[in-house]
A = this chain, B = another copy of it.
Amino acid sequence: MTDFHMKAETLTEALPWIKRTWGRTVVIKYGGSAMTDPVLREHVASDIVLMKLVGINPVIVHGGGPEITSFMQRLDMEVKFHEGLRVTTPEAMDVVKMVLVGKVNKELVAEINTHGSLAVGLAGDDANLIRATQRSKELGRVGDVTDIDITVVTNLIADGFIPVIATVAVGDDGGSFNINADHVAGRIADELDADKVIFLTDVDGLYADFDDKHSLISSLSIEQAEDMIAYDKLAGGMVPKVAACVHALRGGVRRAHILNGTVPHALLLEVYTEEGVGTMITPAEEPWLAEEVM
């Protein structure tokens, strides 16, 4: 069998998965090495474009952790965390926003657009997409999301574009707020009534025992996920992701996934193969028929 024929065979095998995912909305929280490593970023971009062209509506949500820290250090600004959250002075907020919106967002948009005029970047200010209020005096410009106005996102999807959302919020005091990107991804999936929300990370998923690399959980229910948070069974960085999964599923999203973004084509593997990869969290009850779940 020639190489050409193998290619046609594989395309044909993809047929049932393409049928199953046609017209679905998938929110992808993009983060970790998959965002910082140029080669991985190129892979993720082409996976997203492929999803778009075969009928899925992907929406990208991203933060920008490591780049913010390095840029603050170049400016001799103090980098301080309090209970895992970046203490954000007004000056730091300016840097957070410039790096997230002016650098990280635009790099991903440009990467996707090497394949065509598809991606359009958005921040919380655009059409008042994300509004927030201050969490506490100590944390400064760290905010809690109060409102999502999804209009501009659904307009851009209807216009044929891929929205790429940088997670800064417009504040009730006129300033900007630094917000948790995982939480925003869950909220946006909920508002869009998405079929799926996917968190791209640097680990393979959730572990029953996170010291044992053989204890990867391939699937768990929303209740089991809530128990893992309650009984402190999760690695630190996983808590907001799992909480966001729970929020999205409670809001009507069908499936939530935590994937290792350093695995080449993890997105395609999750969406277009039966076994999937990483950890899947499923809602408590499923009033929809099995074949309606992608």
Partner of A123, one of B74, B121, B151: B121
Give the complex CA separation of A46 and B50 in angstroms: 19
Cβ of A241 within 8 Å of any chain B Cβ, yes or no, is: no
Instruction: Given A125-B109, A159-B159, answer yes or no on A46-B15 (Cβ-Cβ < 8 Å).
Output: yes
Contact pattern, A 14-36, Cβ under 8 Å of B = 1, otherwise 0: 11001100100000000000000
Interface residues of A in 30-80 (CB under 8 A from B): 43, 46-47, 49-50, 53-55, 74-75
Is A118 located at the chain interface by the 8 A CB criterion?
A: yes
Extra A-B contacts (18), CB below 8 Å, given A11-B11, A121-B122: A4-B273, A5-B264, A7-B14, A8-B47, A12-B43, A12-B46, A15-B53, A18-B54, A19-B116, A97-B106, A98-B102, A101-B101, A106-B176, A113-B128, A117-B151, A118-B127, A121-B123, A155-B155
Q: How far is the CA of A155 from the CA of B154 in the complex (A)?
A: 12
Residue of B nearest to A113 (CB): B128
Instruction: Specify the main secondary structure of chain A where it touches its partner.
Output: helix
A222 within 8 Å of B (CB atoms): no
A135-158 to B contact mask, C-beta < 8 Å, 1/0: 000000000000001011001100
Question: Once the chains bind, are A12 and B265 in contact (CB under 8 Å)?
Answer: yes
A84 within 8 A of partner (CB) = no
10 contacts between A and B (CB under 8 A): A4-B269, A4-B273, A7-B269, A10-B11, A99-B102, A106-B125, A110-B174, A113-B127, A118-B127, A121-B126
Instruction: Please tell me if A199 contacts chain B, counting CB pairs below 8 Å.
Output: no
Are the CB atoms of B12 and A53 closer together than 8 Å? no
Closest chain B residue, CB of each to CB of A49? B15
Interface presence of A114 (CB below 8 A): yes
The 6 closest A-B pairs by CB, nearest first: A102-B102, A8-B265, A98-B102, A98-B98, A101-B102, A10-B10
Closest CB-CB distance, A18 to chain B, in whole Å?
5
Nearest residue (CB) in B for A55 is B53
